[in-house]
């Protein structure tokens, strides 16, 4: 097997089997490795680079909306976890417990956090005394653990990375506004950083976070017609405040419970990015998330290493101008490197050959375009490299979003025909948009027959409509789809 043959061979065509393609790509692109720990993956440096860019972009948005970062313990004493009944019931099947410290059996078991409402609620009860202490706006970047059976990199793993925001407010209105604000932050991140169009809306009762009054989500549609929830924002009302006794003295001297929210986005978002944008050649990363926006591939002729030296000079200039670039000067053939960086989805490749250098130019090659497509390869004078690279990267970002938006639009299907509705849900035709009765029993029947559930709901488009699934009066407009 030659080096060139080796590179793409373990990435099967995306359209044939999305699941096999997805797993192959995450491994081949060196985002993750499976680990000896069941259900847990290793985030390799390239995958961590992707995560760091998500973190950087989202963290800036979280801080711009007035939040601060803090860090809370990984372990939660059992008696504390048991206080909010719905929360306990919802998470009990997924909690892992620490029972021993060294050789000694603990007198009280410690839960490994599946989420941090509890430990943070306990601390807020200590910190908050007066209306002057409110609002409390804190975010935590952390790992959490949920005892899952199946494992797929990014989409479902036992241990995963995320951020979880937890806020406390004096009034229900403020808590509601916060919930909606953070849903908006997630939607903005999805569209403008991850290049993913999403539907944002309210979750149905059965899909709600355990212990929440209301859960909102952003939902992306994957190429196999299944939806992927990539961010949630919960209005917890006073449920956790009452369970953990988080009270304050209001300006009218009355002692009141606070209203809390929580909201999270995990590395699942990266799973959506991989699945939505990738193609048969591997990943196609949006420039704003890509660990490297461009990679230099110097073309070495015999002993002449001028192209390597020049690539490093140009890379230094681009780095100084704020670009994330890398020079691949390893001892592999240019063809091998082209294919390597294609699999890894680097948005732009910069080829630097002796002939290009004679003309004081380099070749820009865009990853998002097919081979031979107009604009895929462009010779660029070195004097305008920085400005041209910026333009091309912006255009790649836009093109990926536009492609995903076209997919979402053409796979969002409104119907008022019951039989067609069930058929569309069963065949995973996309986001099926119907007037819906908002009844759990109706949703369960649709799920039993088709595997689809509501993804989220919004205001009814037309008064007087009936539920397409069951014929009862409709109360909301809902997207139904099978989901990850
Ligand atoms: Zn119904």
- Tell me the domain boundaries of the chain: 31-277, 294-396, 412-481
Pairing of strands 294-298, 348-352: parallel
What mean pLDDT do residues 215-241 have? 97
Confidence (pLDDT) at 304? 79
DSSP 209-277: -TT-SEEEEEEEE-TTS-EEEEEEEEEEETHHHHHTT-EEE-TTS-EEE-EEEEEEEETHHHHHHHHHH
β-strand pairing of 68-69 with 136-145 = parallel
297 — pLDDT class (breaks 50, 70, 90): very high
Instruction: Please state whether the peptide bond connecting residue 436 to the residue before it is cis, i.e. omega within 30 degrees of 0.
Output: no
Backbone angles phi, psi at 419, to 5 degrees: -60, -45
Is residue 291 classed exposed, middle or buried when 0-12, 13-18 and 19+ CB atoms within 10 A define those classes?
Answer: buried
What spacing in Å lies between the alpha carbon of 462 and ligand 1's midpoint? Answer: 16
What confidence score (pLDDT) does residue 113 get? Answer: 95
Question: Which pLDDT belongs to residue 151?
Answer: 84
pTM of the model: 0.95
Q: How far does residue 444's CA lie from ligand 1's centre (Å)?
A: 10
pLDDT band (50, 70, 90) for residue 227: very high
Report the separation in Å between the CA atom of 471 and the middle of ligand 1, taken as the mean of its atom positions. 6
Q: Please report which confidence band the pLDDT of residue 210 belongs to, taking 50, 70 and 90 as the band edges.
A: confident
Tell me the CA–centroid distance for residue 439 and ligand 1, in Å. 6
Distance 421 CA to ligand 1 centre (A): 12
- Spacing, Cα 212 to ligand 1 middle (Å): 23
CATH of 31-277, picked from 3.30.930.10, 3.40.50.300, 3.40.30.10, 3.30.565.10, is 3.30.930.10
Q: Is pLDDT at 369 greater than 50 in this prediction?
A: yes
| Residue 49 to residues 151, 195, 196, 316, 346, Cα–Cα distance (Å) | 22, 17, 19, 19, 12
CB atoms within 10 A of CB 163: 20
Cβ < 5 A residues, ion ligand 1: 437, 442, 467, 469-470
CA–centroid distance, 459 to ligand 1, in Å, is 15
CA of 445 from ligand 1 middle (Å) equals 9
Cα 441 to averaged position of ligand 1 atoms, centre (Å) = 8
How confident is residue 269, by pLDDT bands cut at 50, 70 and 90? Answer: very high
CA of 408 to the centre of ligand 1 (A): 24
**8, pLDDT greater than 70:** no
Looking at residue 77, what is its pLDDT? 94
What mean pLDDT is predicted for residues 234-261? 97
pLDDT band at 2 (very low <50, low <70, confident <90, very high): very low
**How many whole angstroms from 461 Cα to the centroid of ligand 1?**
16
Mean pLDDT to the nearest integer, 125-134: 98
Measured in angstroms, how far is the CA atom of residue 438 from the centroid of ligand 1? 6
- 445 exposure class (CB count in 10 Å sphere: 0-12, 13-18, 19+): middle
Instruction: Compute the average pLDDT of residues 152-177.
Output: 97
CA of 75 relative to ligand 1 center, distance in Å: 42
Topology agreement, domain 294-396 and domain 412-481: no
pLDDT tens-digit map of 451-478: 999 999 999 988 899 999 999 999 999 9
State the distance from the centre of ligand 1 to the C-alpha of 397, rounded, in angstroms.
Answer: 40
* Average pLDDT over the chain, rounded to an integer: 95
Ligand 1 centroid, distance to 469 Cα (angstroms): 5
DSSP calls for 275-323: HHH-BTTB----TTT-S-SEEEEE--BTTB-HHHHHHHHHHHHHHHTT-
Q: Residue 446 Cα, ligand 1 centroid: separation in angstroms?
A: 9
CATH code of the region 294-396: 3.40.50.800
The 10s digit of each residue's pLDDT in 403-453 is 999 999 999 999 999 999 999 999 999 999 999 999 999 999 999 999 999
Q: What is the pLDDT of residue 3?
A: 39
CATH topology of domain 412-481: Translation Initiation Factor IF3 (3.30.110)
């Amino acid at each position: 097997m030659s080096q060139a043959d080796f590179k793409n061979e373990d990435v099967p065509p995306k359209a044939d089997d999305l699941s096999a393609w997805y797993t192959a790509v995450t491994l081949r692109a060196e985002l993750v490795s499976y680990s000896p720990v069941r259900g847990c993956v290793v985030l390799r440096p390239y995958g961590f680079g992707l995560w760091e860019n998500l973190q950087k972009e989202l963290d800036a948005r979280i801080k711009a909306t007035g939040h601060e970062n803090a860090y809370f313990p990984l372990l939660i004493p059992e008696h504390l976890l048991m206080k909010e009944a719905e929360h306990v019931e919802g998470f009990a099947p997924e909690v892992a417990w620490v029972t021993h410290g060294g050789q000694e059996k603990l007198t009280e078991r410690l839960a490994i956090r599946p989420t941090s409402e509890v430990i943070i609620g306990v601390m807020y009860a200590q910190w908050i005394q007066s209306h002057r202490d409110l609002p409390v706006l804190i975010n935590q970047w952390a790992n959490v653990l949920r005892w899952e059976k199946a494992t797929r990199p990014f989409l479902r793993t036992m241990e995963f990375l995320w951020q979880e925001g937890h806020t406390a407010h004096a009034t229900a209105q403020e808590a509601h506004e916060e919930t909606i604000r953070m849903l908006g932050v997630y939607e903005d991140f999805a569209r403008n950083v991850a290049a993913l169009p999403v539907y944002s809306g309210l979750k149905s009762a059965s899909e709600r976070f355990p212990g929440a009054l209301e859960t909102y989500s952003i939902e992306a549609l994957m190429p196999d017609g299944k939806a992927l929830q990539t961010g949630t924002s919960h209005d917890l009302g006073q449920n956790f405040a009452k369970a953990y006794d988080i009270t304050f003295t209001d300006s009218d001297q009355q002692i009141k419970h606070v209203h809390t929210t929580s909201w999270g986005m995990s590395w699942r978002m990266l799973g959506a990015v991989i699945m939505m944008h990738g193609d048969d050649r591997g990943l196609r990363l949006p420039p704003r998330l890509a660990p490297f926006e461009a990679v230099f591939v110097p073309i070495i002729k015999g002993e002449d290493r001028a192209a390597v030296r020049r690539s490093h000079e140009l890379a230094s200039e681009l780095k100084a101008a704020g670009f994330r670039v890398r020079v691949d000067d390893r001892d592999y053939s240019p063809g091998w490197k082209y294919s390597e960086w294609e699999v890894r989805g680097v948005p732009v490749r910069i080829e630097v050959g002796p002939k290009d250098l004679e003309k004081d130019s380099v070749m820009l090659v865009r990853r998002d375009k097919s081979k031979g497509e107009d604009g895929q390869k462009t010779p660029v004078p070195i004097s305008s490299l920085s400005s041209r690279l910026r333009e091309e990267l912006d255009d790649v970002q836009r093109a990926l979003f536009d492609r995903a938006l076209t997919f979402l639009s053409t796979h969002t299907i409104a119907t008022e025909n019951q039989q067609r509705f069930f058929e569309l849900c069963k065949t995973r035709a996309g986001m099926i948009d119907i007037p819906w009765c908002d009844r759990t029993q109706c949703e369960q029947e649709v799920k039993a027959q088709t595997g689809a559930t509501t993804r989220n709901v919004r205001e009814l488009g037309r008064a007087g409509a009936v539920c397409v699934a069951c014929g009862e009066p409709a109360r909301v407009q809902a997207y139904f789809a099978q989901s990850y």
